[in-house]
Amino acid sequence: MKAEAVQFLRNLKENPKIISHNDADGICSLAILLHYLNKKGINANYELTEVPIKHVNKESTMIFLDISLDNALRFASEITLVIDHHLFDKRPDMPFYNPRETDEKSYIPASYLIYEVCSELEDMEEVKWIACAGIIGDKGDKNSEICKKFVDSLDDYENLSLVSDHIFSADLVDNIDGDYKALEIVKNAKSAKELLHDPYLSECYDEVQKELSNYKNKLEREDKIIFVEVESRYNIKSIIASRLLDKNKNIIVVAYSTYNDAYNISLRTNTDINLGAISKKVAGLCGGDGGGHEKAAGAKVSKSKFPVFREEFVSEVEKCA
């Protein structure tokens, strides 16, 4: 619960190691926590990571942000805090803050949660814009009335949305190096408008927009499921999926692209079907990895297994109809 997270940070004495997801929500969450720790004179080691996590060197005190519980527990130490918003099976025996503990359908991104926790201990108003950008990056404002009111309170949606897009563009162009560059820029910026004038992020954003304008998709449709193969030098699957979602009602988008001998898959929906549960189950049947949220999930399977993934995915969706 939130009180546990607040107490953990209040009692924090030694320098923690922070592990955060390398998407816009995770980057903004980490920037907010580092801002709080700086106020307290506490240094921290930190890493941005994709999920599932492949390797982390554990330290005596660990904090996980926007990392699903099953991933975090693999690298937890005796003193660990997890702040997350993914689905989980069983509450851990450690400080843990996830609104789904009391409301399984809750969808409140980690940027809001860490801002909320830190605000119990310090005035964090100056980084509220960062929390809003992280929320928008994870579509929290579209899935939570709490988050929508929080974002609307700044009355700067266009710029905040662009901040999220700029952060994501750095990841698309420069991968993990871009994530760390974006983090430093977010940490040092005083406002959304200041960040949007950063030359590196602007260059990344312009490059991605150029790629999107030249992109031609290959679509196939099975009832309410749209399959789209994405051929691009950048990992723009989630953007393509979101755009298709905006143009169609009551659909599921499965966007996939080649990665070595495998397909990376982004899944999005505006239906009530739980994509996170389905992708985890189906990818597992194919010897791959999958999971995520109800309306946004991901998977990775070998190319040879993709026809099986597709068939099983369609079957699972039909069962939910």
Q: Span 289-294, mean pLDDT?
A: 88
- 53 domain-assigned: yes
Task: Look up the CATH number of the domain holding residue 268.
Answer: 3.10.310.40
What pLDDT is stored for residue 233 in this prediction?
A: 83
> Domain ends where: 158, 175, 201?
158
Same domain, 221 and 119: no
Which of 100-104, 181-185, 263-267 reaches the highest mean pLDDT?
Answer: 181-185
Residue with the larger pLDDT of the pair 248 and 153: 153
Domain limits at 288? 216-320
Q: For residues 164 and 134, is the Cβ–Cβ distance under 8 A?
A: yes
Same domain, 136 and 225: no
> Domain ends where: 134, 158, 182?
158
Same domain, 115 and 8: yes
Render pLDDT for 106-157 as a digit per residue (tens, 0 to 9): 999 999 999 999 999 999 999 999 999 999 999 999 889 999 999 999 999 9
Render pLDDT for 209-241 as a digit per residue (tens, 0 to 9): 998 887 777 889 988 999 999 888 888 888 888
Residue 100 Cα distances to 85, 88, 311, angstroms: 7, 8, 31
Q: What are phi and psi of 301, to 5 degrees?
A: -140, 155
- 169 domain-assigned: no
Q: How wide is the angle at C-alpha 125 spanned by C-alphas 34 and 36, nearest 5°? A: 20
Same domain, 21 and 93: yes
Token duo for residue 198: 């950063």
DSSP codes, 273-306: --HHHHHHHHHHHTT-EEEE-SSEEEEEEEGGGH
Same domain, 6 and 147: yes
What pLDDT is stored for residue 246 in this prediction?
A: 83
Q: What are phi and psi of 291, to 5 degrees?
A: 150, -175
What pLDDT is stored for residue 54 in this prediction?
A: 87
- Band (14; pLDDT cuts 50, 70, 90): confident
Same domain, 150 and 224: no
- 203 domain-assigned: no
Q: How many CB atoms lie within 10 A of CB 6?
A: 18
- Band (308; pLDDT cuts 50, 70, 90): very high
- 164 domain-assigned: no
**Overall number of domains in the chain:** 2
- 184 domain-assigned: no
Token duo for residue 95: 């400080």
> Hunting for tokens 């099975």 — which residue is that?
222
Task: Look up the CATH number of the domain holding residue 92.
Answer: 3.90.1640.30
Instruction: Provide the mean pLDDT of the chain.
Output: 94
Token duo for residue 273: 């079907």
* Sign of CA pseudo-dihedral 144, 147, 149, 152: negative
Residue type, 148: K
Same domain, 246 and 123: no
Render pLDDT for 117-126 as a digit per residue (tens, 0 to 9): 999 999 999 9
Same domain, 150 and 252: no
